[in-house]
């Protein structure tokens, strides 16, 4: 037997001694859970946990203290998970789920989108609700959500994220400040073209109108045309409408073929996106969240307490639960300098007790939590597009 095998056998012997002690500890943990249930106490007691970890770390040399703290921190995490299962945390009378109904999307709704006919948001609207859906339009994202608040529309469809340029920050800022929920999402392929009035040619274009996102997604194309100057506009469809109305052959817009056809414009260059697989994720927003068996994705936002390891605790809850974390993004808080709001997407359904247990665990470890929605998100490429 070589030295490595000898050491491994020694570790196996130690583990065999640890196992019955661990099981005995879990039995005690369940009894603690029973006591907490009878006395209406929370699962997590942060001050006691910190005291225990500090004490355990003090019992060993400084170079071993962090390992000891990590060891007992993991054991405590497992114990909390067991206690939550015992307590069946996450009942629907919680304030966390007050904005949700056991329902589905409304039939024959009125839907608002930002832009004008031909906007990508209108395309997303039709993919979610159908081509014949009654719709109204606004000039800004905020005005679209105002239409919801004022009951002029049942849903708003807004862009959330582009595969080339990332999240649409203005929409996330609005969701942070409003009591609204995501109820559906869809991906829309974005095929940008350079469009202009009839009679225009590439060599005479001087000014290009577009939403900033459209321009950023096509920057490589415009490197070949340094004389073209970019002008920011509300969105690509509005830019196309403006250029069509001006009738000036030195003006162009970034838009797709459908928009060009609507406003009688000529396509000067086709598919000019830097990323040829350019896709934007759109979401349908409502005043109430929905809960049904088809929901498979959850979006949340939260802030963390100013404590070491806070984010680690949250990520550990996802790891221990086996939930698939799809996205995590931080954004600065507007009310506090150098503090951040985290936006997280993960797979799951709030009707699942195990998911509600995780939500309860997350709530215990953070300063503020809001569920942005539980909704159906297409998974396969064919379903998404």
Paired residues of 341 in beta bridges: 303, 331
Helix axes 310-321, 353-364, angle to 10 degrees: 170
Residue among 282, 318, 343, 346 flagged as catalytic: 282
User: Contact 159/115 with Cβ under 8 angstroms?
Assistant: no
Q: Is 282 a catalytic residue?
A: yes
- What gap in Å lies between CA 172 and CA 239, rounded to an integer? 24
Residue among 123, 138, 165, 280 flagged as catalytic: 280
Tokens 């830019």 belong to residue: 239
Q: Is 280 a catalytic residue?
A: yes
Please choose, from the candidates 196, 197, 192, the residue with its C-alpha nearest in 3D space to the C-alpha of residue 252.
Answer: 196
Q: Which residues are catalytic?
A: 280, 282
């Amino acid at each position: 037997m070589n030295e490595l095998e000898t050491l491994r056998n020694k570790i196996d012997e130690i583990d065999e001694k640890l196992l019955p002690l661990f099981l005995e500890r879990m039995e005690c943990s369940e009894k603690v859970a029973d006591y907490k249930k009878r006395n209406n106490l929370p699962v997590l007691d942060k001050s006691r946990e910190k005291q225990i970890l500090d004490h355990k770390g003090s019992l060993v040399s400084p170079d071993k203290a962090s390992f000891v703290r990590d060891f007992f921190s993991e054991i405590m995490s497992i114990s909390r998970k067991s206690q939550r299962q015992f307590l069946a945390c996450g009942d629907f009378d919680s304030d966390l789920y007050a904005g949700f109904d056991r329902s589905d999307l409304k039939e024959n709704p009125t839907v608002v989108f930002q832009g004008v006919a031909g906007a990508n948001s209108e395309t997303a609207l039709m993919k979610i609700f159908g081509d014949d859906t009654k719709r109204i339009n606004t000039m800004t994202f905020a005005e679209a959500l105002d239409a919801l608040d004022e009951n002029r529309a049942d849903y708003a469809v807004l862009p959330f994220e582009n595969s080339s340029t990332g999240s649409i920050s203005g929409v996330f800022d609005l969701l942070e400040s409003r009591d609204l929920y995501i109820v559906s999402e869809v991906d829309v392929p974005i095929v940008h073209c350079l469009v202009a009035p009839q009679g225009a040619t590439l060599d005479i274009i001087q000014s290009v109108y577009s939403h900033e996102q459209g321009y950023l997604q096509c920057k490589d194309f415009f490197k070949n045309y340094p004389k073209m100057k970019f002008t920011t506009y509300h969105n690509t469809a509005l830019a196309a409408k403006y250029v069509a109305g001006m009738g000036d052959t030195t003006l162009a817009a970034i838009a797709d073929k459908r928009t060009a056809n609507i406003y009688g414009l000529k396509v000067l260059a086709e598919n000019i996106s830097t990323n040829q697989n350019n896709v934007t994720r759109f979401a349908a927003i409502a005043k109430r969240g929905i809960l049904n068996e088809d929901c498979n994705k959850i979006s949340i936002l939260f802030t963390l307490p100013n404590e070491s390891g806070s984010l680690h605790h949250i990520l550990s809850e996802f790891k221990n639960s086996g939930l698939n974390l799809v996205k995590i993004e931080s954004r600065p808080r507007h009310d506090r300098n150098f503090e951040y709001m985290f936006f997280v997407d993960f797979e799951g359904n709030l009707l699942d007790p195990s998911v509600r247990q995780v939500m309860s665990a997350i709530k215990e470890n953070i300063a503020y939590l809001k569920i942005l929605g539980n909704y159906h998100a297409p998974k396969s490429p064919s379903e998404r597009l």
